Amino acid sequence: MTTALASPSSALARDPAWSARVGGFIAFGVVMWPLLAWSEFRPWLLFDLQSLAAMRGFLAGFLPPSTAPDFLALLARSTLETLAMATAGMALAFVLAAPLAFVATRALSISRIGPGPGVWRAIIVRQSARFMLTVLRAVPEVVWALVLVRALGLGPGAGVLALGIAYGGLLGKVYSEILESTDTQPARALLEAGSGRLAALLYGLVPGAAQELASYTVYRWECAVRASVVMGFVGAGGLGQLMDQSMKMLNGGEASAILLTFLALVLLADGISAALRRALA
């Protein structure tokens, strides 16, 4: 002990983590450069005079935002439709995600303690739940919407189902990761004292993770509002469908009014999230 402290020069000549860090940095550059080249990322073209003129022409049409009364009525109805689609889709996603996340969370495994009986069966069940979540979110919601519009017809119904499926996969994965990344000792101690999984989740994991879970859920709701716009372009109703019509008719004023509505919705989601975090702090 004392000798190690007396002659630090040999032991402390170099931080052992150094070469790994330099290697990692170089590897990052080697991987990123070709990716940038392949994706044709050439930001300087933005400042080319010709593209600037084209963009200015396009954006000039956006001002002023349209305030025609019958358009505003339509905008209000579409906004409600979009909110309804996003909220219903999130509810469906939650119903799919919560049980799958509950099954997939390793911190709630009873058989892992010891390890005890049924440990292999539990690993298989957990991995199948994870695989289910991957399948659900592997297909983007727009693709689900394209398929479902054909089955259910035009309108927000297809959007709700598409959002529910894709976001169910996303929420489930992130829920179980949030639960894993909080302090898992409380849940473990409860399981070791004979508690069931669900009770251990409610008394051991959720109290520590409630803030994160709530703010992620509201953030996803915000994403769902935006996604429902994209799905509108493929005929799933709401603000997106309205935007699609306005853009096709080159009506910039209407398009900018719709964009301002988006901004308001995102600000609303932000406010809800902040209020929830305060309430759960």
Partner 1 sequence: MAFTLSGCGLVHANGHRALEQVTLAAAQGERLAVIGASGAGKTTLLRVLGASLKPGEGEVELLGSAPWRLAPVPLKRLRARIGTIHQQPPIPLRLRVVTAVLAGRLGQWPLWRAIASLVYPADMAGAQAALAQLGLADRLFDRCDRLSGGQLQRVGIARVLYQQPALMLADEPVSSLDPTLADQTLAALVAASERDGATLVASLHAVDLALKWFPRIVGMRSGRVVFDLPASRVTPQMLSALYASEGGVPPVHGAGQHAHDTVATSPALQPAHL
Q: How many residues bind partner 1 (CB under 8 A)?
A: 30
Is residue 218 packed enough to be buried (19+ CB in 10 Å), middle (13-18) or exposed (0-12)? buried
Q: Which of residues 85-114 bind partner 1 (CB under 8 A)?
A: 110-111, 113-114
Report the nearest approach of partner 1 to the CB of residue 82 (Å).
34
**Tokens linked to 49:** 């005079």
Given 84, 147, 155, 195, the residue binding partner 1 (CB under 8 A): 195
Are 197 and 108 in contact by the 8 Å Cβ rule? The answer is: yes
**Among positions 194, 248, 263, 278, the unique one binding partner 1 when judged by CB under 8 A:** 194
Contacting partner 1 within 167-186 (CB under 8 A): 183, 185-186
**What DSSP state is assigned to residue 239?**
H
Angle, helices 238-248 vs 69-104, to 10°: value is 130
Question: CA angle at residue 190 from 196 to 170, to 5 degrees?
Answer: 65
Q: Does 5 bind partner 1 (CB under 8 A)?
A: no
When asked if residue 279 is in the footprint of partner 1 (CB under 8 A), the reply is no
Q: Which is nearer to partner 1, 190 or 257 (CB)?
A: 190
- With CB under 8 A as the contact rule, the residue among 156, 164, 169, 204 that binds partner 1 is 204
- Residue 115 in the binding site for partner 1 (CB under 8 A): yes
Give the number of other Cβ atoms within 10 Å of residue 226's Cβ: 17
DSSP 3-state assignment of 194? coil
Candidates 6-14, 63-71, 116-124, 262-270: pick the segment binding partner 1 (CB under 8 A).
116-124
Q: Burial letters for 55-79: b for 16+ Cβ neighbours within 10 Å, e otherwise?
A: eeeeeeebeebbeeeebeeebeebb
Cβ distance to partner 1 smaller for residue 68 or 198 = 198
Among 74, 202, 266, 276, binds partner 1 (CB under 8 A): 202
Rank residues 130 and 188 by Cβ distance to partner 1 and give the closer one. Answer: 188
Q: How far apart are CA 6 and CA 8, in angstroms?
A: 6
Verify binding: residue 118, partner 1, rule CB under 8 A.
Answer: yes
CB 182 within 8 A of CB 212: yes
Q: Which residues bind partner 1 (CB under 8 A)?
A: 110-111, 113-118, 183, 185-186, 188-196, 198-200, 202-205, 207-208, 210
